[in-house]
Structure 1
């Protein structure tokens, strides 16, 4: 498990239970697929979404550990499924510094593995979710998540992408699942509608900040810490916030380079990175991430008092400081 959870021993135990519950639902006749999915489960992901779900399960008056663990496991299964499919679409070689499923076994194995994890998600929700309405809510949210992924696919190599387009894309692609995670935890604890919507808003803001920081790291991290090639997004035609800000400053400087699309050379990438430094794209993106984080913290302040709130404050503030 990721070392960040060493500071939260009780939460670390619960997250171990989440992973074990997911693994217990992996029963595939093809043992290559089964072992591949189990490797993914224990590949060292941050488990932020189930962690937020577990913390928000302490908002309301009801404490049902088994149900909270199951809902968190369902959400992490959904997250892992989208990652597997993302890697197929992006043809990514690595994730968390390890070879992706399609790199090791091919696209067919990867797609099946992702589909199986979707099934695990809804199996868990059907057994443990409080109501059919909650299941419908989660299925609608999955539609939004997949729509965000499709928006990203359709926007590849488009140089006219705006900040508004980008924020709409990451709202579906990333922020939605953070919001659902926080909301689901709150609902299962029988929090009031008002409190559950606070949790939803908090999760949305956290997800927006998280994705912006993830996109910043694509420019200023390294392969060892990030676990994937640097500036991979630009090579794939995915133009994120630091670049979008800079294109708005001087479109003419970037177009001759970006018009090369997937033919960019290493020298071109150096020029693009220098231009992003010149026009302060990373600094501008960082400021927006900070604003979203502050919005999340304001929502946390309004939640009912409890020990969980201090952990929410710490986790949310630390997301701005992460290097991987």
Structure 2
């Protein structure tokens, strides 16, 4: 369990129950295949999405322990499925210090394993979902998440012109799942409709800030800590907010480099890093992350008081500082 949850023993215990339900739900006749999938699901990670769902399950008057654990497990399984597929697309060798599935087997194996985890997600939901409407809601949400991923793939190596297009992709591929997590927790607690939508908006803004900070790490993080080469996204033709902001100041100089696409050299990468620093791309991106975080905390403060709200506020602060 990630050290982030050490100060919150009750939440930590619930996250352990989420892990147990995921583990119990993965059942494959071929035990070698089952063990391979479980190795990935047990690789660690912060489990932010189920944590947000569990905390938001305290918003309303009803305490439904079984359903909140199930929703947390379904959300985490969905997230892990997308990560298995992401590792194939990104050709990433590791995830949380564990060798990626496609690296130990092959791409086809990993894709089918990711598909299987999608099935596990919906199996958990169908067994515990209180209403078909809730199940339908989660299906539509997954559609938006995958559409966001497809939009990002489609945009590879295209000129990074629009902040709006970038934010639209982030809204689908990252913020949607955070929003669903908070909304689902509020839903099982029988919070009011207004509280459910506040939780949704809180999760959306947290997800936006989280992804922007994650993208900033691609430009500022050290390879040993981040676990991937500096400017890994740029190497794959994924142009995120710091680059988009910096390019606005001098499109020509950036485009002369970016037109090389996959042929970027290490000198090109170094030059891009210097240009982004020169034109304050990271600082501008961080300012936008701060604004999204402020929107998140403003919505959080509209929810009923309680320890859950204090924990959510703590986590929100740590996300912005990227001390997770």
**Structure-1-length-normalised TM-score:** 0.98
TM superposition shift of 1:160: 4.2
Aligned length: 324
Q: Is the 8 A contact 2:74 2:121 kept in 1?
A: yes
1:310 aligns with 310
CA distance in 1: counterparts of 2:32 and 2:122, whole angstroms: 23
TM superposition shift of 1:321: 1.3
2:30 aligns with 30
1:169 aligns with 169
Instruction: Give matches, 1:110-125, under 5 Å.
Output: 110-125=110-125
CA distance in 1: counterparts of 2:95 and 2:103, whole angstroms: 11
CA distance in 2: counterparts of 1:16 and 1:296, whole angstroms: 27
1:100 aligns with 100
The DSSP-based 3-state class of the residue aligned with 2:247 is helix
Shift >4 Å, 4+ stretches: none
TM superposition shift of 1:273: 0.2
CA distance in 1: counterparts of 2:162 and 2:100, whole angstroms: 31
Q: Is the 8 A contact 1:96 1:226 kept in 2?
A: no
Deviates more, 1:28-37 or 1:161-170: 28-37
1:21 aligns with 21
Deviations 1:110-165 (A, max 9, x none): 11111111011101111111111111111001100000000000000011431000
Deviates more, 1:148-157 or 1:110-119: 110-119
TM superposition shift of 1:183: 0.3
2:91 aligns with 91
Q: Is the 8 A contact 2:148 2:169 kept in 1?
A: yes
TM superposition shift of 1:290: 0.4
The DSSP-based 3-state class of the residue aligned with 2:12 is helix
The DSSP-based 3-state class of the residue aligned with 2:237 is coil
CA distance in 1: counterparts of 2:230 and 2:44, whole angstroms: 20
1:227 aligns with 227
Deviates more, 1:44-53 or 1:226-235: 226-235
TM superposition shift of 1:31: 2.6
In structure 1, list runs of 5 or more residues that go unmatched. none
**Structure-2-length-normalised TM-score:** 0.98
Deviations 1:245-283 (A, max 9, x none): 011111011111100101111111000000000001000
Tell whether 2:256 aligns with 1:252. Answer: no
Q: Is the 8 A contact 2:176 2:207 kept in 1?
A: yes
CA distance in 2: counterparts of 1:31 and 1:249, whole angstroms: 56
CA distance in 1: counterparts of 2:31 and 2:267, whole angstroms: 44
CA distance in 2: counterparts of 1:93 and 1:12, whole angstroms: 29
CA distance in 2: counterparts of 1:116 and 1:90, whole angstroms: 20
Instruction: Give matches, 1:36-75, under 5 Å.
Output: 36-75=36-75
Q: Note closer, same or farther for the CA distance 1:110–1:142 as it changes in structure 2 (3 Å cut).
A: same
TM superposition shift of 1:323: 5.1
In structure 2, list runs of 5 or more residues that go unmatched. none
Instruction: Give matches, 1:200-211, under 5 Å.
Output: 200-211=200-211
TM superposition shift of 1:37: 1.6
1:291 aligns with 291
Deviations 1:267-308 (A, max 9, x none): 110000000000010000000000000100000000012111
TM superposition shift of 1:109: 1.4
Aligned CA-pair RMSD: 1.0
Deviates more, 1:103-112 or 1:268-277: 103-112
TM superposition shift of 1:224: 2.0
Q: Is the 8 A contact 2:160 2:239 kept in 1?
A: no
TM superposition shift of 1:203: 0.2
Q: Is the 8 A contact 2:160 2:243 kept in 1?
A: no
The DSSP-based 3-state class of the residue aligned with 1:7 is coil
CA distance in 2: counterparts of 1:5 and 1:93, whole angstroms: 27
TM superposition shift of 1:181: 0.4
Q: Is the 8 A contact 1:77 1:120 kept in 2?
A: yes
TM superposition shift of 1:229: 2.1
1:141 aligns with 141
